[in-house]
Amino acid sequence: MKKLLFSLRCVVAALIAAFLFAAPKQLDEALGRNFYREWLSGTKPEWSGVITLWHIAEFKSEKGSLSAYLENIAACYERKYPGVYIEVTGLSPNQARERLSAGEKPHLWSFPMGAFKAEQFNALELDLPKFRGNLEPLSADGAVYALPYMYSGYFLIGNTVLVQQLGLSWPSISGETNRQDAIASTLKEAMASPATRRYGALFSPKLYAAKLGLTGTLALEGDFKAGQVPFMLGDARALGDLNRKMATGGFTFDALPLGGFTEQVLYIGVDIGAKGGFLEHGTQFIELLLTKGQQLKLTALGAIPATAFDEVPKYQDSYLQLFFEAYSSPCSPSPSLYFEHKEELDALSEAALRGDESSLELLLALLIRLGCAQQA
């Protein structure tokens, strides 16, 4: 019996020794770092600390979570730089304002176009990638303060059955047909139809409806989702939600990407208060975020990479591939000018929807000044 116990102890001791010998190597391979060698050599990182990143979620990707996307890139960065940790927090615009009022600030900002001025951030010293369409950095006086890293856009969405029941039409686009003109014609017809007087014909952001030259009262989003309004100008997330709902009994619909103009652009920058290692590693994180490998991961979310490269992004869903094709060269406002004129755009849009033709002319002229001459 004693011999058996002795033999078992020897076997257990051998297994433990083998584990202690092999485990560091396995952990190194899994995590991409040589912890064992670091421990033996006593090597310490040049800089260590926790970098905070606030993601302001004013709009969402077609599916998934942009906060989780940023967390994934943060994990990649942490493996490359031991001792550096990036803490990602997703916040609504109101939550961000409340925390700012309480004296809190992050080191890194992920934020929608129009949220901040350039003076909020450190100037970035890095090689700029090529961006899609007319996307441009947030800059001032020749310096770059924040960079676009993803964008999205809008669809015309039609309740298939209701459009037919109300005797309305769907845009016909072929050959040289202007997409915006075809969509505008369809929606003007719908808004003028007696069949849509009760609930309305269209739910839409005011700017997009006014830009198409539409006039009248816009319907409620809830009425469209309830199946009482035939059309909606909705973003990619709205389309994704409808698609998922349709799989569990929601109404069928058709969708056509608008293409061209979009203000749904996310930027990233380093807060003006971040200095030393926070600024250095914050800048390097931005460089990682804009690499081809990390940008292509956006396709899994139904979002579009801001950087341009030779490879065409591939999407699992055919409607998202069409979405990319329509928005592959976006027409987006200058981020600094958009911040300055956001309230004016809202006011002119409301007046144009009331039928004020001079306000529509001013609105279109202002969009051209902001860098959005493209209408198709």
Domain containing residue 149: CATH number: 3.40.190.10
Judge if pTM exceeds 0.85.
Answer: yes
Q: CA–CA separation, 153 vs 171, rounded Å?
A: 18
Rounded to an integer, the average pLDDT of 217-226 is: 96
Does 375 score more than 70 pLDDT? no
Whether residues 119 and 87 fall in one domain: yes
243 is a domain residue: yes
pLDDT per residue as tens digits for the range 61-95:
999 999 999 999 999 999 999 999 999 999 999 99
244 is a domain residue: yes
Whether residues 269 and 144 fall in one domain: yes
91 is a domain residue: yes
Boundary (domain end) residue, out of 258, 288, 308: 258
135 is a domain residue: yes
Q: CA–CA separation, 26 vs 197, rounded Å?
A: 68
359 is a domain residue: no
Whether residues 240 and 176 fall in one domain: yes
pLDDT band at 7 (very low <50, low <70, confident <90, very high): low
What DSSP string runs through 186-219?
HHHHHHH-GGGTTT-SEE--HHHHHHTT--SPPP
pLDDT of residue 40: 46
pLDDT of residue 18: 52
pLDDT, the chain, mean: 90
pLDDT band at 30 (very low <50, low <70, confident <90, very high): very low
Whether residues 76 and 124 fall in one domain: yes
Whether residues 143 and 171 fall in one domain: no
Whether residues 250 and 164 fall in one domain: yes
110, 267 Cβ separation under 8 angstroms: yes
Rounded to an integer, the average pLDDT of 21-28 is: 49
Whether residues 89 and 130 fall in one domain: yes
Whether residues 122 and 110 fall in one domain: yes
Whether residues 158 and 244 fall in one domain: yes
Does 41 score more than 60 pLDDT? no
Does 253 score more than 90 pLDDT? yes
Whether residues 272 and 149 fall in one domain: yes
Please give the share of the chain, as a percent, with pLDDT higher than 90: 82
The number of distinct structural domains making up the chain is: 2
Does 229 score more than 60 pLDDT? yes
pLDDT of residue 83: 96
Boundary (domain end) residue, out of 204, 236, 258: 258
1 is a domain residue: no
Whether residues 278 and 244 fall in one domain: no
Rounded to an integer, the average pLDDT of 90-107 is: 96
340 is a domain residue: no
pLDDT band at 29 (very low <50, low <70, confident <90, very high): very low
344 is a domain residue: no
Whether residues 132 and 161 fall in one domain: no
Q: Mention every residue, 6+ apart, whose C-beta is less than 8 A from residue 195.
A: 166, 167, 168
Boundary (domain end) residue, out of 239, 258, 277: 258
Q: Which domain holds residue 244?
A: 154-258
